[in-house]
Copies of this chain bind each other. A is one copy, B any other.
Amino acid sequence: MATEPGAGSGSRRPSLKDVAARAGVSRASASRVLGGYGYSSQDVADRVMAAVRELGYEPDRVARTMRSGKSGVIGFVCADISDAFFSSAMRGICDVALREGAQVIVMNTDDKPGQERDATRVLLSHKVDGVIITPVSVREHAHIAAITGAGVPVVSLDRQLSDIGIDSVVADNEAATEEAIRRLIGLGHRRIAFLGSVQREEPPVLRVGKVRANVVGPSRPSLDRARGYLRALTAAGLPVERELIALVPHDAPDGRLEAVAAVLAAEPRPSALFTADSYMTRSAFSLLSERGIAIPGEMSLIGFDDLEWTTLVRPRISVVVQPAYDMGRAAADQLFAQIARPDAPGADARAGAGARAGAGAGRGHRTVVPTRFIERDSAGAAP
């Protein structure tokens, strides 16, 4: 029923003014009826509702944003939306946003600081109600501080920016990796290689003795996973061998196969590989099958991230699963929680904040999402 818009009159979207005119009341009265505040007589209410139906009126969100300062839009800033992790997380974010009646603007950074800065600026000028971001850098976060500085809630996803008091949602990368390595050790492996990607800015990890000291502070998945690896080794009293650790820059994809080859060339050759992200898992599996190295007969393999192919290849790959969708949901939940209570953690009260110890959700609430280990066929007993 009702009248589809665009049928009769002069094409323009009907505004509240049109509704008011048709109902024979003032804009204020129409607004009161629709907004459900103040007083309005039954008669006026009926006429307004009728006019709304007849005209197919729908409020203009832009004007509403203008007036209220709230847009009902949030931003998601990630490296690359076509990446499986981010697109799954995005879906989680969208689902929560839908529940909250909000929309999502996506921006890709390709892990370039400049793009990220631009993205935050644009989002701010769109008056977004909040931002979920996977920060390019844990060091340069001036742009991110600028967002909270503008009173806009921020949640960081996958990477952590704890030192500037920003909520974050991360997987328990360190514990998950530690557990995976412990399993390999339990299977009798003594020489276990670690293959991961790393951002250029990250310092070379290592320095075994001080591992525990480094646990606190800015966090990136790759570093945390490396820490878990080191922890497991040292806990088992195994030596950490430099030649069994390869961290290739994330933006040099062809370095990955070389890294795997280099690790395989170590003497004596390791008996197990842990690949700390999906790209590495793929490269490792690829090279191993190309060289005809039997899994898990000659080489065990455990990877991070549960991609669909890990169940299609033979042997099926044992992996640590990171619930990307749930992480997206969690981040969005946290963001909307912040939006709901505008007591602004870290906003303008920043200058003299030092003293307050924060009752419950102090500064920078950190949600750690549990991972799950899926045992399949790629990790076996050491020869």
A interface list, Cβ under 8 A from B: 4-6, 11, 13, 58-63, 65-66, 71, 73, 80-84, 86-88, 90-91, 94-95, 98, 103-108, 121-122, 124-127, 142, 146, 149-151, 282, 285-286, 289, 307-309, 311-314, 325, 348
Contact = CB atoms under 8 A, between A and B. Distances in A.
Contacts of A150: 5-6, 11, 13
Contacts of A84: 82, 84, 87
A124 B11 contact: no
B94 A90 contact: no
Contact of A62 (B59, B94, B126, B313): B126
A121 B5 CA distance: 11
Nearest to A149: B6
Contacts of A125: 58-62
Contacts of A108: 91, 94-95, 98
A168 to B, nearest CB: 22
A104 B106 contact: yes
Contacts of A106: 90, 94, 104, 106
A63 B151 CA distance: 19
Given A82-B87, A87-B87, A309-B312, 14 more contacts: A5-B146, A6-B146, A6-B348, A62-B65, A63-B66, A73-B126, A81-B87, A81-B91, A81-B94, A84-B87, A90-B106, A94-B107, A98-B108, A282-B312
A325 B81 CA distance: 11
Contact of A104 (B59, B60, B83, B105): B105
A150 B60 CA distance: 13
Nearest to A63: B66
A125 B60 CA distance: 5
A231 to B, nearest CB: 31
A82 B327 CA distance: 14
Most buried by B among A103, A146, A313: A103
A79 to B, nearest CB: 11
Most buried by B among A11, A71, A82, A146: A82
Contact of A309 (B13, B142, B149, B313): B313
Contacts of A60: 125, 127
Contact of A286 (B91, B107, B142, B312): B312
A66 B58 contact: no
Contacts of A5: 146, 149-150
Given A62-B65, A308-B309, A103 B126 contact: yes
A263 to B, nearest CB: 19
Given A103-B107, A106-B106, A149-B6, A66 B73 contact: no
Contacts of A90: 81-82, 87, 106
Contact of A105 (B66, B98, B105, B282): B105
Nearest to A317: B312
B81 A126 contact: no
A59 to B, nearest CB: 7
Contacts of A59: 125
B309 A58 contact: no
